[in-house]
């Protein structure tokens, strides 16, 4: 991973409340895991930024190296890596994700 790639990822994660590194886009996810994560955040009404890792091989590998996490999607909330699809699904189902977002001052359209 080049320093440039790492600094691009760091800047994106620091500058946005929620960042989803995913395969595809929110309107056209390219894998089921990415689709699930988008559906969760859309359901909650949380604003997020997404990065299509398929558009940039350096980012695709770079985000995996950035956290030492081998898969995509990867979700960052307020600069902190929270996890991937399974973790988001579990946190959503238990209500933990909604609590985390509101505790971090992220407004949700669903209340």
pLDDT, residue 81, reads: 97
Would you list the domain boundaries of the chain?
3-102
Tokens of 15: 């500058």
The segments of the chain whose pLDDT lies below 50 read 111
pTM value > 0.85: yes
Number of residues in the chain: 111
pLDDT, residue 39, reads: 98
For domain 3-102, the CATH class is: alpha beta
- Reference 24, options 60, 58, 48; nearest CA is 60
Within 10 Å of residue 50's Cβ, how many Cβ atoms? 21
pLDDT, residue 3, reads: 66
């Amino acid at each position: 991973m080049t320093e440039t790639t790492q600094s691009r990822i760091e800047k994106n994660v620091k500058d946005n409340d929620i960042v989803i590194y995913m395969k595809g886009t929110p309107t056209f996810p390219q894998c089921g895991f990415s689709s699930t994560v988008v559906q969760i955040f859309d359901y909650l009404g949380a604003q997020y930024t997404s990065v299509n890792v398929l558009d940039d091989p350096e980012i695709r590998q770079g985000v995996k190296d950035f956290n030492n996490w081998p898969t995509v999607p990867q979700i960052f909330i307020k600069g902190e890596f929270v996890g991937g699809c399974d973790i988001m699904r579990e946190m959503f189902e238990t209500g933990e994700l909604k609590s985390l977002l509101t505790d971090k001052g992220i407004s949700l359209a669903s209340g």
